[in-house]
Amino acid sequence: MPMTQKRSRELIAYWSQHQDEVGLGFDWGDDDYFKICWRCAYKFDSLTPCHIIPKSLGGSAEPNNIVQLCDDCHIEAPDIADPKFMWIWIRAYAPPFPGTYWFMRAIDEHEKMFGYKFGSKIEALDPPPQTDVPEKLKELKNNVIQHYGEKRLSISTLACKLFEFEEMIVNESKQDTQTANGVGDT
């Protein structure tokens, strides 16, 4: 059952008195509180009430046993009878800035897939590249899709696009350097 704004208000009222927002990826007082996943801090049109202690392990539907999560985070949430682990888990993944969690996951995925940290090839360029990053990012929207019913691109798709972005910047920088050095001119 999707989270209602009324239910979200009840949860915020309870948890803002029982959990310090320090270390969370959102603020209890955010205007769109009823749209924010408490783990990834992304805004969604629909969130899911997640039991801290699962119903099958005796958990209730009271506010002290519910957090609001997006579907993806709900699937990854701990299913264990000890309530302390939910807040440890939520804080462990709190993004430094709202809306960056899935991008940070894609950076980790990039390193696993390609064997190096995203950005390291760009940082190694001398001279530093002079590029219009927003324009380059627009180009990366081509040739990708979201899985049917998903609200965002998969982590692996984002990781591949990060790889393409870095390769594009590196190749353009090499071309710029060659042009500046007169290589390739006739």
pLDDT in tens, 146-172: 777 777 788 999 999 999 999 988 998
Which pLDDT band, with edges at 50, 70 and 90, does 128 fall under?
Answer: confident
Q: Is the pLDDT of residue 10 over 70?
A: yes
**Alpha helices by DSSP H, 115-145:** 120-123, 133-139
pLDDT tens readout for residues 20-62: 999 999 899 888 888 999 999 999 888 999 999 999 999 999 9
Element (H, E) at 48: strand 48-51
Which pLDDT band, with edges at 50, 70 and 90, does 135 fall under?
Answer: confident
Q: What pLDDT shows up at residue 79? A: 96
Phi, psi of 2 (to 5 degrees): -65, 155
Q: Is the pLDDT of residue 12 over 90?
A: yes
For residue 181, give both structure tokens.
Answer: 């050095």
CA distance 68 to 90: 11
Stated pTM of the model: 0.77
